[in-house]
Amino acid sequence: MSTKKKVLIVTRRELRKNKLINWVSEIYLQILAQGGVMPILVPISQGTIANLPDYLEDYDGLLMSEGGDISPAYYNESYSVSKLDEYDPIKDEIEIACCRHAMEHNKPILGFCRGMHMINVAFGGSLHLDVHEVNKRSVVHIDYDHYDTHRHPITIFENTPLMEWYKQKDLLVNTYHHQGVKKLAPELVAMAQAPDGLIEGIYHPKHKFVVGLQFHPERMYQEHPGNKLVFKSFIDSL
C-alpha cells in the first residue's frame, strides 16, 4: 500500500488534430514527484463529473495551475462567454467543486494564475475581466512577444508567507495573465501587489494551507530560493 501523499491537478484541454486532448504542464508533475508526492490528474470530461466523488474520496491536497478564464457566472458578472479566453465550462465545474471540497475539508490548496483566481472566486471574491482595460496598460501583465522573459515588479507585504519565502520587499516576477482579482474574498489576505495595485498573492490565515500566486514560481524555479520554498511549504503541509 503506497504511503505517498496524493495531490489532485485538474487538467487543461484543447483541440489537437481535430481531437480534444487533456494535458498538464510537466514541471508541476516533476516538482511534486521530486517531493515524494503522487500527482493525480483529474481529466476534463463529462464523465469525470459523475466520478468526481471517487477522486475526492482519497487525496491530500489540490494544486490548481494556469489556464483559461473562469465563467463570470461564478461571481455574478454579466459578460458574454464568447469574449472569454479558453472558456471551458466543464473545467470550471470540476475545478470549483474540487476547490470547495478542499476548503471544506481543510486540505492544502496551491493555485497559480487562474488557480489563484479560482481560490478567490470559490471564497466569494470577483475578478477583473481584463486588467489592461482597467489599468490602461500602466503595468503589462502579459506580453505575447516576450512571453517567458517579460517581468514586472511586485511589492511583498510584511508578515505574510510570501515574505517568509522570499525575504525581500521587492521582487521581479513573470506574468502571463489578462484577468486578475477585483474584489478580494473576505476571508483571504493579500500578500503582494503590482505597481498598478493589482493583487499578486493571496492566502487564508486560518486554513492549513491556502495560497494563490499570480506569478509562476515553477517557471523561474532556479532564479530565487523562494520559488522552491513555495512548493516545499505546500508539500510539507500535506
Which secondary structure element, helix H or strand E, spans residue 33, and what is its range?
A: helix 26-34
| Active-site residue (options: 66, 101, 113, 224) | 113
* 5: Cα separation from own chain's centroid: 20
User: Is 77 noted as a catalytic residue in this protein?
Assistant: no
3-state SS of 94-143 is HHHHHHHHHHHCCCCEEEECHHHHHHHHHCCCCEECCHHHHHCCCCCCEC
Residue 1: what pLDDT? 62
| Active-site residue (options: 200, 204, 218, 224) | 218
What's the CATH code of the domain at 216? 3.40.50.880
Q: E strands along 31-82, which residues?
A: 37-42, 61-64
**Number of domains composing the chain:** 1
Residue 15: what pLDDT? 86
User: Is 99 noted as a catalytic residue in this protein?
Assistant: no
Residue 33: what pLDDT? 97
pTM for this predicted structure: 0.96
| Active-site residue (options: 128, 152, 216, 224) | 216
The mean pLDDT values, 10 residues at a time, for the chain of 238 residues are 90 92 96 98 96 97 96 88 90 97 98 98 95 93 93 98 98 96 98 98 98 97 96 98
Residue 81: what pLDDT? 82
| Domain residue limits at 124 | 5-237
User: Is 98 noted as a catalytic residue in this protein?
Assistant: no
